[in-house]
């Protein structure tokens, strides 16, 4: 199976291990990821807050590249990239005036038969059965809290993905990987997003609530599908501990990392050593050697 | 033909922009017109006398009145004609008000147009034929569909007036939702105590034929002459033998396979069951889907214990047909559920409240059962999950209602009141408990209603928070209710022990099917449409069918009962005469030229076109042609317009008459 691949900026920086693990897991599951040539910024956070036309034009440029590479599907593992591309495609489809302006800017029309998919949809295309058939490590003792955050399922009218209030799709994949998803309450709560830099205290507060609820429901690990969520939950645990000394660390894994562990890949190959919070507790419980 | 023309000024309404005297004078010169008179108010008694006297004096054959719209006074003038001996259909009305004076300013032009309008009418009336009303016999028996409080009230009113009633209820017992309620607002009187005597009265009434566990399958015919097919589902019990002793239910070994519908899923019931102890009739039903006998052929415990040999495993559905004159539809409502539903369903559910996965997040009817002395907790307020007394309870109003994102933009009307009642009942039973109500607005219009809500707030100390609830989730055995206090502008979090959701009242799932069976229109939510929202609130577009209760829109008990009595009185009006007089202006098929294409049947909105076989002398069918059932025909003329061979005539509006009108404009 060949799928277009748009890593986005995070996956080349703070979320490097997301990119590493996804590429490894994809090759094990016979998925050929064809990276967009000369891809550019999706416009997340800044563009749509400043200029609406720009916020549509930036993703549109990448969609046009995908057209040139004759791709039918484009995987955007970063939830923010996925969201921006979905929103842009929706704007172009439903607002002829925007479509005309953006086409003028780009000098060509924007493809509509291209479907943008997120990381969960990518694994759904591979199939739960195929993942389960390739599982090497025994993770049945591991309890995982699947964290969707805000961008993956919302706005539901545009993404149309899973359920905006009670999503279950990531849990299905965790089950396919042989682990136990936990039923918890904070899988859609806000992690604070980009406030991580300017107002860290907000992120500390919000992330703590998410982590506490996951722990309350017995999770050994929180699974994320967004580099922003990952950095807030992973990187800010140190700050949480400073504020709340009783805080105990919990590893935060990308979905691709967790599936990679299940498929028998080494923690280092998946970039687990690049995390701020040590993943040792998880690896020991799963009896996986570093 | 001698024609009289009468021009009305309608005070200044016509007189201001039409020179009525000039119109009358001009009309007097039209061929055939023998007298032409103008008068200030033609509809008044002296005005009508003018017409009557002129008829006698000039021996008029036909009358034209130039005045207002036929909607206003056609009947008045027709009657005046009839009183003076002119056939009422040899009359025509020229609309000089709505069609002329009200819409024009120039008196010269207006007068010219008025003269034209009168000329048109004069030419038309020359082609009119004398007609007499169609008389249709009336079957003086009513069908009431639905045995809730509305159906019960309508049945009793009609039966007490001395007419026969067939009451059809789809459940094993009558009583409806009202029988499930604990106390009723705003008086807090016990629902069962006021309802059950009515139920018994229905059962014992010699004029009421009660068919429970039955459904209306088909309705044919028309006002006064419906033919109704009813399916009486097999109870698997011989109703003539069963005494309702209840032994079979006690001994039935299947105790926990089915939720008790009457208890709203808060308890189980046996395979052979009556919905509730006061059921009418007090005759059980066997639920074949869970009964061991129907699954494996064994058990038969009920047969062994029944001293009356009333168990009939091989009983079959019976089909009953009834001749009916009037139909009262009182099929009631259903509660919106917050569960996740398949994509095909219009119900979207409430993921933010957990899609119904939390046991202690209940709906209004479930709380009624919990608060009811006859309910699963004997009236003690206990949580369904662990039977503990909830010390903190949250009520959420407008769940589904007034929420377009969930598909229902209307207000369910009763929730403000019943939520206040629920909170009050809770405070009366759990003295140290805290009750919170999240509301959008308090809508408590009704006698004693607002006082009731104030009582809940001021005397019983229920805390009202204006705002919506964004999420409900479980944490350490508590239900975390996150909402907003829009008056304080603050987010609110309450760790409740129990949550009651005032979910929307929605139409019955089979409402649309019944509407199609009977021929009623319905709104986008499946509630039945009345003909006129103000002046004909209980009638539907099919004559002889009346609405009662919440099948028309959400409403409370007093309103439902009032509407039921209104529907009953409309039925009684119908039964007051032996024959119905129908307008003779209906369609008629010219049998010699009709080719039997039945385009007319496809377009007729009233199902009035039937198939008629034409036979030769030997009895062989020569052709099949269209036939208009004049009882059903409303004279709309659609068939007349589509007929390719021009073989349908609309009596009173035939081509000759229309051409005469057009020619009059010359």
**Cβ B352–A213 below 8 Å, yes or no?**
no
List the one residue out of B128, B219, B84, B268 whose CA is nearest residue B653: B128
Please give the ipTM for the structure prediction: 0.87
Mean pLDDT across the stretch B494-503?
97
Residue of chain B whose Cα is closest to the Cα of A164: B351
List the one residue out of B50, B53, B111 whose CA is nearest residue B85: B53
What does residue B354 show for φ and ψ, rounded to 5 degrees?
Answer: 90, 10
CATH number belonging to the domain at B587-650, selected among 3.20.20.140, 1.10.630.10, 1.10.645.10, 3.30.70.3270: 3.30.70.3270
Task: For chain B, give the percent of residues with pLDDT over 70.
Answer: 99
CA distance B290 to B270: 9
pLDDT in tens, B514-561: 999 999 999 999 999 999 999 999 999 888 999 999 999 999 999 999
List the strands of the sheet with B498-503, edge to edge.
B361-363, B498-503, B392-399, B434-439, B463-466
**Cβ A185–B350 below 8 Å, yes or no?**
no
Question: Do the beta carbons of residue B238 and residue B310 sit within 8 Å?
Answer: yes
Residue of chain B whose Cα is closest to the Cα of A217: B475
List chain B residues with CB under 8 Å of A155. none
Task: Sort residue B265 into left (φ over 0), alpha (ψ -120 to 50) or beta.
Answer: left
User: Across-strand partners of B285?
Assistant: B273
List chain B residues with CB under 8 Å of A213. 475
pLDDT value at residue A77: 97
Q: Which two tokens stand for residue A282?
A: 């998880």
B43 pLDDT exceeds 80? yes
Q: Which two tokens stand for residue A83?
A: 């969201």
Give the per-residue SS3 of A268-289: HHHCHHHCCCCCHHHHHHCCCC
CA distance A135 to A229: 26
Please list the alpha-helical segments (H only) found in B240-363: 247-251, 292-296, 301-305
Per-residue confidence at A196, pLDDT binned at 50, 70, 90?
confident
pLDDT value at residue B342: 62
Count of CB contacts below 8 A, A vs B? 18
Place of tokens 């495993």: B313
List chain A residues with CB under 8 Å of B493. none
Q: How many CB atoms lie within 10 A of CB A129?
A: 9
As to burial, measured by CB atoms within 10 angstroms (0-12 exposed, 13-18 middle, 19+ buried), residue B666 is exposed
Task: Quickly list DSSP for B517-564.
Answer: HHT--B-TTSPBPPSBTTTBTTB-SSTTEEE-GGGTS---HHHHHHHH
Query: Residue B118: which residues within 8 A CB-CB, separation 6 or more?
Result: B5, B7, B23, B26, B27, B30, B64, B66, B94, B96
Place of tokens 């791709």: A71
B67 pLDDT exceeds 70? yes
Mutate to test the interface with B, among A163, A185, A205 (most CBs of B within 10 A): A185
Place of tokens 């593992």: A77
Domains B3-127 and B587-650 are alike in CATH topology: no
Average pLDDT over chain A reads: 94
Q: Does A164 touch chain B (CB under 8 A)?
A: yes
Reduce the DSSP state of residue B299 to 3 states and report it.
Answer: coil
CA distance B420 to B437: 8
Question: Do the beta carbons of residue A267 and residue A235 sit within 8 Å?
Answer: no
Cis peptide before B281 (omega within 30 of 0): yes
Instruction: Tell me which residues of chain B have a C-beta less than 8 Å from any C-beta of chain A.
Output: 340, 350-352, 354-355, 473-476, 480
Mutate to test the interface with B, among A150, A162, A166, A168 (most CBs of B within 10 A): A166
Q: Which two tokens stand for residue A203?
A: 């992120």
Residue of chain A whose Cα is closest to the Cα of B348: A163
CA distance B92 to B488: 67
Mutate to test the interface with A, among B338, B348, B350, B351 (most CBs of A within 10 A): B351
List chain B residues with CB under 8 Å of A185. 473-475, 480
List the one residue out of B318, B314, B317 whose CA is nearest residue B297: B314
pLDDT value at residue A9: 94
Nearest CB to B351; choose among A166, A213, A216: A166
Residue of chain A whose Cα is closest to the Cα of B343: A163
A217 pLDDT exceeds 70? yes
pLDDT value at residue A289: 81
pLDDT value at residue B236: 96
Please tell me the distance in Å from A106's CA to the nearest CA on chain B: 36
Please tell me the distance in Å from A165's CA to the nearest CA on chain B: 5
Nearest CB to B355; choose among A166, A213, A216: A166
Homologous superfamily of the B333-506 domain (CATH): FAD/NAD(P)-binding domain (3.50.50.60)
Give just the sign of the alpha carbon dihedral B389, B394, B397, B401.
negative
CA distance A65 to A71: 9
Residue of chain A whose Cα is closest to the Cα of B470: A165
**Cβ A185–B476 below 8 Å, yes or no?**
no
Mean pLDDT across the stretch B585-612?
92
pLDDT value at residue A111: 78
For the B141-332+507-575 domain, the top CATH level (class) is: alpha beta
Cis peptide before B186 (omega within 30 of 0): yes
**Cβ B475–A163 below 8 Å, yes or no?**
no
pLDDT value at residue B405: 86
Q: Which two tokens stand for residue B334?
A: 């259903």
Mean pLDDT across the stretch B594-615?
92
pLDDT in tens, A88-111: 999 999 999 999 999 999 999 887
As to burial, measured by CB atoms within 10 angstroms (0-12 exposed, 13-18 middle, 19+ buried), residue A186 is buried
Query: Residue B410: which residues within 8 A CB-CB, separation 6 or more?
Result: B401, B402, B504, B525, B553, B554
For chain A, how big is the Rg over CA atoms in Å?
19
Q: Which two tokens stand for residue B84?
A: 């003076």
List chain B residues with CB under 8 Å of A163. 340, 351
List chain B residues with CB under 8 Å of A166. 340, 351, 354-355
pLDDT value at residue B17: 95
Nearest CB to A165; choose among B352, B476, B480: B352
pLDDT in tens, B141-190: 999 999 999 999 999 999 999 999 999 999 999 999 999 999 999 999 99
CA distance B139 to B226: 8
Q: Which residues of A275-286 are buried (b: 16+ CB within 10 A; e: fewer)?
A: bebebeebbeeb
Query: Residue B397: which residues within 8 A CB-CB, separation 6 or more?
Result: B415, B416, B419, B437, B438, B439, B440, B502
pLDDT in tens, A239-265: 999 999 999 999 999 999 999 999 999
List chain A residues with CB under 8 Å of B475. 185, 213, 216
**Cβ A185–B473 below 8 Å, yes or no?**
yes
Please tell me the distance in Å from A146's CA to the nearest CA on chain B: 16
B583 pLDDT exceeds 90? no
List the one residue out of A107, A5, A105 whose CA is nearest residue A55: A105
Mean pLDDT across the stretch A20-38?
97
How far is C-alpha B368 from the chain's CA centre?
Answer: 26
A276 pLDDT exceeds 70? yes
Average pLDDT over chain B reads: 95
- CA dihedral B320→B321→B323→B326, nearest 10 degrees, is 70
CA distance B564 to A137: 69
pLDDT in tens, A80-91: 999 999 999 999
pLDDT value at residue B344: 59
List the one residue out of B166, B170, B506 whose CA is nearest residue B334: B506
Give the per-residue SS3 of chain A: CEEEECCCCHHHCCCHHHHHHHHHHHHHCCCEEEECCCCCCCCCCCHHHHCHHHHHHHHHHHHHHHHHCCCCEEECCCHHHHHHHHHHHHHHHHCHHHHHHHHHHHCCCCCCCCEEECHHHHHHHHCHHHHHHCCCCCCCCCEEEECCCCCCCCCHHHHCCCCCCCCCHHHHHHHHCCCEECCCCCCCCCCCCCHHHHCHHHHHHHHHHHHHHHHHCCCCEEEECCHHHHHHHHHCHHHHHHHCCCCCCCCEEEHHHHHHHHCCCCHHHHCHHHCCCCCHHHHHHCCCCC
Residue of chain B whose Cα is closest to the Cα of A215: B475
- Write down the domain spans for chain B: 3-127, 141-332+507-575, 333-506, 587-650
- The single-letter DSSP state of residue B388 is P
User: Across-strand partners of A145?
Assistant: A222
pLDDT in tens, B472-488: 999 999 999 999 999 99
Which strand (E) or helix (H) includes residue B281?
none
Domains within chain A, CATH numbers bracketed: 2-119 (1.20.1050.140), 136-285 (3.40.50.11810)
Give just the sign of the alpha carbon dihedral B66, B69, B71, B73.
negative
Mean pLDDT across the stretch B116-126?
96
pLDDT value at residue A290: 67
Question: Do the beta carbons of residue A61 and residue A103 sit within 8 Å?
Answer: no
Question: Do the beta carbons of residue A225 and residue A152 sit within 8 Å?
Answer: yes
CA distance B294 to A89: 57
Nearest CB to A164; choose among B351, B475, B480: B351
List the one residue out of A111, A118, A61 whose CA is nearest residue A255: A118
CA distance A254 to B277: 58
Strands B285-286 and B272-273: antiparallel
pLDDT in tens, B268-285: 999 999 999 999 999 999
Q: Which two tokens stand for residue B644?
A: 């390719």
Distances (CA, A) of A190 to A80, B467, B491: 13, 21, 15
pLDDT value at residue A281: 95
List chain A residues with CB under 8 Å of B350. 165
pLDDT value at residue B507: 95
CATH for B3-127 is: 3.40.50.960
Mean pLDDT across the stretch B277-300?
94
Distances (CA, A) of A194 to A159, A227, A255: 21, 11, 21
């Amino acid at each position: 199976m060949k799928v277009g691949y748009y890593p986005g900026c995070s996956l080349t920086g703070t979320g490097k291990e997301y990119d590493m693990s996804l590429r490894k897991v994809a090759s094990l599951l016979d998925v050929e990821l064809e990276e967009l040539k000369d891809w550019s910024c999706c416009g997340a956070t800044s563009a749509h807050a400043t200029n609406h036309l720009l916020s549509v034009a930036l993703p549109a440029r990448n969609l046009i590249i995908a057209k040139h590479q004759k791709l039918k599907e484009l995987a955007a593992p970063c939830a923010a990239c996925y969201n921006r591309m979905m929103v842009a495609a929706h704007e172009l489809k439903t607002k002829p005036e925007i479509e005309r302006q953006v086409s003028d800017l780009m000098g060509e029309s924007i493809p509509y038969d291209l479907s943008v998919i997120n990381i969960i949809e990518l694994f759904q295309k591979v199939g739960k059965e195929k993942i389960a058939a390739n599982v090497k490590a025994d993770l049945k003792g591991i309890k995982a809290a699947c964290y969707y955050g805000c961008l993956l399922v919302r706005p539901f009218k545009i993404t149309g993905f899973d359920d905006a209030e009670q999503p279950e799709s990531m849990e299905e994949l965790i089950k396919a990987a042989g682990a136990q998803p936990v039923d918890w309450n904070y899988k859609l709560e806000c992690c604070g997003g980009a406030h991580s830099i300017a107002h860290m205290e907000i992120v500390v507060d919000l992330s703590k609530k998410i982590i506490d609820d996951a722990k309350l429901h017995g999770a050994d690990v929180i699974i994320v599908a967004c580099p922003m969520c990952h950095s807030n939950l992973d990187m800010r645990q140190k700050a949480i501990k400073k504020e709340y000394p009783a805080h105990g660390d919990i590893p935060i894994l990308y979905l691709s990392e967790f599936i990679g562990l299940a498929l028998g890949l080494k923690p280092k190959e998946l970039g687990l050593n690049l995390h701020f919070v040590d993943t040792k507790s998880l690896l020991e419980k799963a009896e996986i050697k570093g | 033909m001698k024609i009289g023309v009468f021009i009305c000024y309608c005070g200044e309404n016509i007189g201001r922009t039409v020179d009525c005297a000039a119109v009358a004078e001009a009309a007097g010169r039209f061929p055939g017109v023998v007298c032409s008179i103008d008068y200030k108010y033609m509809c008044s008694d002296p005005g009508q006398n003018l017409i009557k006297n002129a008829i006698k004096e000039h021996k008029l054959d036909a009358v034209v009145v130039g005045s207002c719209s036929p909607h206003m006074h056609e009947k008045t003038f027709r009657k005046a004609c009839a009183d003076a001996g002119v056939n009422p259909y040899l009359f025509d009305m020229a609309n000089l008000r709505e069609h002329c004076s009200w819409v024009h300013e120039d008196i010269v032009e207006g007068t010219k147009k008025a003269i034209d309008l009168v000329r048109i009418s004069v030419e038309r009336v020359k082609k009119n034929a004398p007609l007499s009303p169609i008389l249709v016999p009336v079957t003086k028996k009513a069908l009431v569909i639905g045995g809730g409080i509305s159906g019960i009230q309508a049945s009793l009113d009609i039966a007490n007036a001395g007419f026969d009633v067939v009451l059809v209820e789809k459940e094993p017992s009558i009583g409806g939702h009202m029988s499930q309620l604990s106390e009723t607002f705003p008086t807090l009187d016990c629902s069962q105590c006021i309802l059950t005597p009515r139920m018994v009265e229905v059962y014992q009434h010699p004029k009421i034929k009660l068919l429970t566990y039955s459904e209306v399958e088909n309705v044919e015919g028309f006002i006064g002459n419906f033919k109704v097919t009813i399916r009486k589902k097999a109870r698997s019990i011989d109703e003539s033998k069963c005494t309702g002793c209840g032994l079979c239910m006690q001994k039935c070994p299947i105790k926990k396979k089915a939720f008790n519908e009457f208890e709203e899923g808060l308890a189980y019931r046996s395979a052979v069951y009556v919905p509730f102890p006061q059921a009418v009739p007090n005759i059980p039903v066997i639920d074949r889907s869970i009964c061991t006998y129907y699954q494996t052929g064994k058990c038969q415990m009920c047969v062994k214990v029944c001293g009356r040999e009333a168990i009939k495993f091989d009983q079959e559905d019976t089909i009953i047909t009834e001749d009916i004159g009037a139909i009262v539809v009182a099929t009631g409502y259903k509660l919106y559920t917050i569960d996740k539903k398949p994509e095909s369903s219009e119900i979207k559910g409430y993921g933010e409240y957990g899609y119904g996965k939390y046991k202690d997040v209940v709906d209004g009817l479930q709380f009624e059962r919990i608060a009811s002395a006859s309910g699963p907790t004997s009236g003690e307020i206990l949580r369904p999950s662990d039977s503990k007394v909830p010390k903190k309870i949250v009520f959420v109003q407008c769940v589904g209602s007034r929420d377009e994102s969930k598909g229902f933009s209307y207000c369910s009307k009763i929730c403000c009141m019943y939520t206040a009642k629920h909170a009050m009942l809770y405070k009366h039973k759990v003295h140290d408990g805290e009750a919170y109500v999240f509301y959008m607005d308090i809508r408590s219009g009704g006698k004693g209603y607002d006082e009731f809500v104030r009582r809940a707030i001021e005397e019983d100390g229920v805390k009202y928070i204006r705002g919506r609830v964004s999420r409900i989730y479980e944490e350490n055995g508590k239900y975390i209710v996150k909402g907003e206090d829009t008056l304080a502008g603050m987010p609110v979090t309450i760790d409740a022990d129990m949550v009651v959701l005032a979910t929307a009242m929605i139409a019955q799932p089979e409402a649309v099917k019944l509407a199609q069976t009977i021929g009623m229109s319905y709104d986008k939510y499946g509630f039945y449409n009345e003909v006129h929202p103000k002046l004909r609130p209980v009638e539907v577009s099919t004559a002889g069918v009346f609405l009662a209760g919440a099948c028309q829109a959400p409403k409370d008990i007093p309103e439902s009962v009032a509407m039921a009595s209104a529907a009953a009185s409309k039925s009684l009006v119908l039964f007051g005469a032996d024959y119905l007089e129908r307008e003779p202006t209906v369609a008629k098929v010219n049998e010699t030229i009709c080719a039997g294409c039945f385009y007319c049947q496809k377009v007729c909105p009233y199902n009035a076109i039937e198939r008629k076989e034409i036979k030769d002398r030997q009895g062989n069918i020569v052709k099949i042609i269209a036939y208009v059932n004049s009882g059903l025909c409303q004279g709309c003329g659609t068939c007349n317009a589509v007929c390719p061979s021009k073989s349908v005539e609309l009596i009173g509006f035939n081509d000759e008459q229309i051409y005469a009108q057009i020619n009059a404009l010359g």
